[in-house]
Amino acid sequence: MPFYHIWTIGCQMNKADSERIASYLEQIGYQASSKVEEAEIIVLNSCVVRQSAEDRVINKLNALKSLKRRKNPFLLLTGCMVDSMGDDMRYRFPQVDLFFRPQAFSKLAQFLADRHLAPDELEHNSVLPKPSPSTFVPIIEGCNNFCSYCIVPYRRGRERSRPMEEIISEVEELASRGTKEVILLGQNVDSYGHDLFEKFEKPEKLDLAKLLTELNRIDGLARIRFLTSHPKDMNQRLIEAMARLGKVCEHLSLPLQAGDDEILCAMRRGYTVEQYRALVGRIRRAIPHIALSTDVIVGFPGESEEQFHRTFDLLYELKFDTVHVAAYSPRPGTIASRKLTDDVPPEEKVRRREMVEHLQKGIATEINLRLLNQTVEVLVEGQKNGKWWGRTRGDKLAFFEDDADRLGQLVKITIEKTSPWSLQGSLIYDWVRGICPDMTAAITLSQPGNVSVKGSV
Ligand code: SAM
Ligand code: SF4
């Protein structure tokens, strides 16, 4: 059987696209290989959100030149590096056989059919034949927001929601094939459905709250997550749906980006610090033990020391479970790169980034330490260095040892060791019916000291 090799960097959207490309290549008879040298089809799924990511893609493309000369595999490039002006790309990277934009799977299928490597009539089936216990499901593509620093809307286009029925049937199919958790994806999942509502004039409003309600009914599915939320679009109806629906995990990704109103305005984020703080308050009141993760950019054009400290202080005040911090990187074509001067020196950006990382390490240490001796539910996703690993409902990485095959099971473990990045625990064998149960629905523990699932870790 011939081999394919996929190399992916960037966000979960890219990972989801790569899973779908892999599924298609397997349907037409290719087998995955981690060795690029033996692959007949090589797919690079690229990211250009920051210069450092773009540099990695260019290095990879250059490194593959000699393999292309020696063995002539098909080299395909997708992801956010591929823009609509393909001619320039063809000139810069002649070693690439096909450029296709994110999710342009039909272009991939046509390319392979033209070379008699795939049948003409084969429809690209997006449901993975052997999905993992936790599977990404894109629900909305593109972004309408045009934050001043961000290249995504230029590369992924305007928002397009997938029809709700299509998503529901995909998740039903995934659940019947063993998926226990779905992670609904979009650059801005909170605006899901607004284009469907306008287009089809349905009497009932289609939105993320409605989609979550429908997915919550699917048998066999135990958990639902979604990301990324935009603070300006996260409404009360969605918060209430999260609080009400048992399968929706107590975990939310809510990018802050900056803790200063002037910077937020220059970023074109559409909310103030006070509005963000109030939103976090409403979310935490509705879902008391929710795990919050956020994104922050330091060294945005014009960011003074005081403005940076406002971000720092806000992170200290709000205490997120996870903070993804990035140094501002000018992206050609974006509003910030056209209109603002990148005036924070690189070493100062690094200093600010490291300050946030240091602060967050302390906060995460404290938050995770509270889980010591607690019992948590883990969905087992794999094995590493002899230990099973998975995630709690609060998206904490957790490890435990066991001789039995636990892949895809929902298990309970007692936490014995914590770090800022992960938890270690031991399996509870005698929890319910004398065996470690493979739970398929969220269950609330009643033993004292244990953590209840709604509002749990
Ligand atoms: N849609 C999400 C939101 O509203 O924040 C985030 C999507 S963006 C692709 C992922 C993260 O990359 C952002 O949250 C931001 O922190 C970071 N990012 C985007 N553009 C950046 C830039 N030019 N420089 C540094 N970081 C950037
Ligand atoms: Fe980029 Fe802003 Fe859209 Fe997020 S919301 S993808 S940061 S433009």
Enumerate domains of the chain plus CATH numbers.
3-114 (3.40.50.12160), 134-369 (3.80.30.20), 375-453 (2.40.50.140)
Among 374, 372, 370, 380, which Cα is nearest to 436's? 380
Question: In whole angstroms, what is the distance from residue 367 CA to residue 119 CA?
Answer: 53
pLDDT at position 296: 98
Question: In whole angstroms, what is the distance from residue 453 CA to residue 392 CA?
Answer: 10
Pairing of strands 98-99, 39-46: unpaired
Which of ligand 1's atoms lies nearest the C-alpha of 331?
23
Among 13, 143, 300, say which to mutate for ligand 2: greatest number of ligand atoms within 8 Å of CB.
Answer: 143
Which residues contact residue 79 at a Cβ distance below 8 angstroms, ignoring those fewer than 6 apart? 8, 9, 10, 14, 17, 44, 45, 46, 47, 48, 57, 102
Provide φ and ψ at 97, rounded to 5°: -85, -35
Divide the 457 residues of the chain into consecutive groups of 10 and give the mean pLDDT of each group.
95 92 91 95 96 95 95 95 76 93 88 84 64 94 96 92 95 96 97 77 79 97 97 96 98 98 98 98 97 98 98 98 98 96 98 98 98 97 96 98 95 97 90 48 35 37
Query: In the block, which residue shows the tokens 């298609």?
Result: 24
User: Do residues 226 and 187 lie in contact, with contact meaning Cβ atoms separated by under 8 Å?
Assistant: no
Q: Write the pLDDT tens digit of every residue in 338-358.
A: 999 999 999 999 999 999 999
pLDDT at position 442: 39
Question: In whole angstroms, what is the distance from residue 109 CA to residue 123 CA?
Answer: 8
Which amino acid makes up residue 173?
E
Q: Which ligand is nearest to the CA of 269?
A: 2
| Residue with CA closest to ligand 2 atom 5 | 145
Question: In whole angstroms, what is the distance from residue 210 CA to residue 197 CA?
Answer: 12
pLDDT at position 287: 97
Which of ligand 1's atoms lies nearest the C-alpha of 229?
4
Extract the tokens encoding 55.
């540099």
Percent of the chain past pLDDT 70, that is, above it, reads 89
DSSP state letter for 37? G
Question: In whole angstroms, what is the distance from residue 306 CA to residue 268 CA?
Answer: 20
Query: Is the four-CA dihedral 38, 43, 45, 46 of positive or negative sign?
Result: positive
User: Do residues 149 and 328 lie in contact, with contact meaning Cβ atoms separated by under 8 Å?
Assistant: yes
Q: Write the pLDDT tens digit of every residue in 400-454.
A: 999 999 999 999 999 999 999 999 999 997 554 445 445 443 333 333 333 333 4
- Compute the distance from residue 319 Cα to the ligand 2 centre, in Å: 23
Q: Write the pLDDT tens digit of every residue in 127-142.
A: 677 789 999 999 999 9
pLDDT at position 446: 32
Q: Which ligand is nearest to the CA of 332?
A: 1
pLDDT at position 6: 97
Q: 56 vs 12, 80, 204, 301, CA distance in Å?
A: 17, 13, 46, 24
Which of ligand 2's atoms lies nearest the C-alpha of 187?
6
Question: In whole angstroms, what is the distance from residue 213 CA to residue 226 CA?
Answer: 13
User: Do residues 251 and 309 lie in contact, with contact meaning Cβ atoms separated by under 8 Å?
Assistant: no
pLDDT at position 124: 55
